[in-house]
Amino acid sequence: MQVPQDGEDFVSQPWYHGPLSRQKAEDLLQQDGDFLVRASKSRGGHPVISCRWRGSALHFEVLRVALRPRPGRPTALFQLEDERFPSLPALVRSYVIGQRPLSQATGAVASRPVPRQGPIRRSFSEDILPDGPARTEPLRDRKRSDSQPAGLEHLWRPPEDPPGPGASTVPASGLPRTGSDPVILKTPVPLGSVADSLRASDGQLHAKAPTKPPRTPSLLLPDASGRPPTYCELVPRVLRVQGPPPAHSCPESEVPWWEAEEEKEEDRCFARPQAEVSFCLPDTPSCLLGSQNRPLEPEVLHTLRGLFLEHHPGSTALHLLLIDCQATGVLGVTKAQRGAMGVASGLELLTLPHGHLLRLELLERLETLALAGALAVLGCAGPLEERAGALRGLVELAVALRPGAVGDLPGLAAVMGALLMPQVSRLERTWRHLRRSHTEAALAFEQELKPLMRSLNEGAGPSDPGEVALPHVAPAARLLEGEELPGPLDESCERLLRTLHQARQTARDAPRFREAAARRLRGFRPNPELTEALTTGFLKRLLWGSRGAGAPWATRLEKFQRVLSVLSQRLEPDP
């Protein structure tokens, strides 16, 4: 086995286990804080930090950035999230001794190394990733974003390829790949930060950058700067079809509907719409609601609470983005729907006269999600800490939805609507406890989220498809449905013009928003129960029951506002 030349020999470290499968690594992690470093066979032997945190095993890939040889500097850098280190042991020491989270999104802290038992059979990290490209077979280069410096040469060699000079001669047949190998996914954007990895300003290493975007499956693709990602193994790989031999390029496996390319029609003429189009999912038998489906069933609320606690805010934000894109007509639009509405996207339909039904559906969804979010706080009849924890969860979800992160602005507006609802904002003791116990979330809400939401409602917030996957369409929908703008006449006129201009720009950029949403959802595998829990139809049946869900919207809204007022008074009565 070739000795690493990256400053320190990490192969001799007790926490390095060499080639180890995901399942075996998880079996070795017993308590929160346990960690080990292994060579992931599914990623060509790249080092992966496996750590147990809050009862779950998480896997974080360490990026190995190969540099051009120069005297006095390492041949490679090791990177996790934003920091780069000259060696893997230096990276591990920094995170373990400093007790810093491996990712800001998960908060996982590695504190106790799990020592390996016995010698390492083979290390993929060095003998499969040599500094030189000498090979007898063509190497399939990994594609990177176009803002990455050209000098950062990432050479990714799968285990099946013959090793380079000086590498181990163990045959590749002794290291088979199975369908249980994991897919390495990126971690969601961390709280209070939109940085992913390398910055575009790092181009001083080398001037020229690659031109092709990444094709790695991911939970969250990089923002407009195109910086390379940080990976996290969160879901197992499910093989759809049997791939060809390693010597040939592997075709793309079957992808979900939100990743499929939109059909392109040539010589398509505009057809006058015959009827209004609805993107609401039809009511289907629910796996969460009971047969009688009464309003606010305690068993269902308890199940939903546990379901949301199982998912971190970044995962919930992606589930919400998926449903919002379908409800808005950005993803999943069929050829028949495009023909019926005369345009290709719901963002265009919103601005047209025959988009009346879609505008009403989106406004109802916004209010329904806000009511459900308020219920998540006001329904906590336990200790004060429980309500403050619910507030913190909503704030962290809003941070994960903001521009530069997942970028689901309708979802952000719904969560902020719940936090700013009078029945929630009047809970002084709860908010005081949030500021005292969860100061970071309280500061993010006051200093970042509230000003952002104010500017979005005034039509002056971020709307570029590079940092936004789904724009804030509620102001334009309300305006086109005849709602009057509050405030003095001169201010309302300026706001009117800004809102109309942004609506026109949104319709023009509809294809770019679709591409941005599809990039963020690439490689995402949603939880069926959480996906159902975020649909408009499910929330209506949860809040009002099967019978009450069919009542007029104004009646349902007034009724539930009274319910929330009663709950708020019970939690903190007026003096």
Residues paired with residue 231 on neighbouring β-strands, in sequence order: 61, 186
Q: SS3 string of 97-121?
A: HCCCECCCCCCCECCEECCCCCCCC
415-433 per-position pLDDT tens digit = 999 999 999 999 999 999 9
Per-residue pLDDT at 129:
35
Pairing of strands 112-113, 34-40: parallel
pLDDT of residue 317: 95
Q: Specify which of 101-110, 176-185, 554-563 reaches the highest per-range mean pLDDT.
A: 554-563
Pairwise CA distance, residues 489 & 500, whole Å: 16
Q: Which pLDDT score is estimated for 573?
A: 93
Mark residue 487 as left, alpha or beta (left: phi above 0; alpha: psi -120 to 50; beta: remaining). Answer: left
Q: Is the pLDDT of residue 233 over 90?
A: no
d(CA 260, CA 253): 11
200 or 310: whose pLDDT is higher? 310
Full DSSP string of 233-271: EEEE----S----TTSPPPPPP--TTTSPPPP-SSPPP-
User: Where in the sequence of the chain do the CATH 1.10.840.10 domains occur?
Assistant: 298-571
The most confident of the ranges 2-16, 41-55, 204-218, 271-285 is 41-55
pLDDT at res. 41: 73
For the record, the structure tokens of 215 come out as 């094709």
pLDDT-derived band at 121 (thresholds 50, 70, 90) equals low
In the prediction, which pLDDT does 433 show? 95
Whether the pLDDT of residue 272 is over 70: the answer is no
**Of 337, 339, 335, 341, nearest to 354 (Cα)?**
341
Range of lowest pLDDT (104-108, 421-425, 515-519): 104-108
- Which two tokens mark 74? 């390492």
DSSP SS3 for 399: helix
Identify residue 157 by its one-letter amino acid code.
Answer: R
CB 403 within 8 A of CB 224: no
Query: Of 293 and 450, which is predicted with more confidence?
Result: 450
pLDDT at 360 exceeding the cut of 50: yes
**49-53, 55-59, 150-154, 517-521, range with the lowest pLDDT:** 150-154
- Asked whether 251 and 239 are in contact (CB, 8 A), the reply is no
Q: Taking all residues of the chain, what is their mean pLDDT, rounded to a whole number?
A: 76
CATH 3.30.505.10 positions along the chain are 10-236
Q: CB–CB of 128/167 below 8 Å?
A: yes
**Six-digit token pair at 424?**
């929630």
- What contacts 190, CB < 8 A, 6 or more positions away? 81, 103, 104, 105
Most confident by average pLDDT, 184-198, 258-272, 541-555: 541-555
Give the three-class secondary structure for 35: strand
Q: Is 473 helix (H, G, I), strand (E, B) or coil?
A: coil
The rounded percent of the chain whose pLDDT value lies above 70 is 70
With bands split at pLDDT 50, 70 and 90, how would you rate the model's confidence at 276?
Answer: confident
The CA distance from 340 to 271, in Å, is 8
Query: What pLDDT score does 515 carry?
Result: 93
Residues ≥6 apart with Cβ < 8 Å to 251: 243, 244
pLDDT of residue 210: 45
Q: Which residue has the higher pLDDT, 561 or 192?
A: 561
pLDDT of amino acid 494: 86
Residues 6+ apart with CB under 8 A from 478: 363
Single out the residue of 521, 532, 498 nearest to residue 283, CA to CA.
532
**Residues 14-20: what's their mean pLDDT?**
88
Residue 7: its pLDDT value, please?
44
pLDDT confidence of residue 478: 93
Q: Are 42 and 55 in contact (CB under 8 A)?
A: no
Local confidence band at 345 (pLDDT 50, 70, 90 cut-offs): very high
Task: Evaluate if residue 162 carries a pLDDT over 70.
Answer: no
Of 110, 139, 56, 104, which is closest to residue 230 (Cα–Cα)? Answer: 104
Query: Which pLDDT does position 20 carry in this prediction?
Result: 87
Residue, of 209 and 135, whose pLDDT is higher: 209
Once rounded to an integer, what is the mean pLDDT over residues 304-313? 88
The tokens describing 443, both together, are: 């500061």
Top-level class of domain 298-571:
mainly alpha
pLDDT value, residue 536: 94
**Superfamily of chain region 10-236:** SH2 domain (3.30.505.10)
**What pLDDT does residue 28 have?**
92
For residue 244, pLDDT over 50 is answered with no
Between residues 175 and 100, the one the model is more confident about: 100
Question: DSSP secondary-structure letter at 489?
Answer: H
Q: pTM of the predicted model, to two decimals?
A: 0.58
pLDDT at 277: 83
- Give the tokens for residue 222: 């990089």
Instruction: Look at residue 205 in the predicted model and tell me its pLDDT.
Output: 39
Q: For 227-242, what is the mean pLDDT?
A: 39
Give yes or no for residue 562 having a pLDDT over 70.
yes
Query: What share of the chain in percent tops pLDDT 90?
Result: 39
pLDDT band at 218 (very low <50, low <70, confident <90, very high): very low
CA distance 315 to 256: 17
476-499 pLDDT, tens digit each: 999 999 887 776 766 778 888 889
At 456, the pLDDT band (50, 70, 90 cuts) reads very high
- Return the pLDDT at 359: 94
- Note the pLDDT of residue 79: 86
Measure the CA–CA gap between 540 and 551, rounded to whole angstroms: 10
| Residues whose CB is less than 8 angstroms from the CB of residue 405 and which lie 6 or more positions away in sequence, other chains included | 188, 189, 194, 220, 314, 317, 399
Q: Report pLDDT digits (tens) over 74-96.
A: 778 888 877 888 888 888 988 99
Helix (H, G, I), strand (E, B) or coil at 493: helix
Lowest mean pLDDT among 61-70, 421-430, 504-513: 61-70
Q: Comparing 227-231, 326-330, 447-451, which segment has the lowest mean pLDDT?
A: 227-231
- Select the more confidently predicted residue: 319 or 3: 319
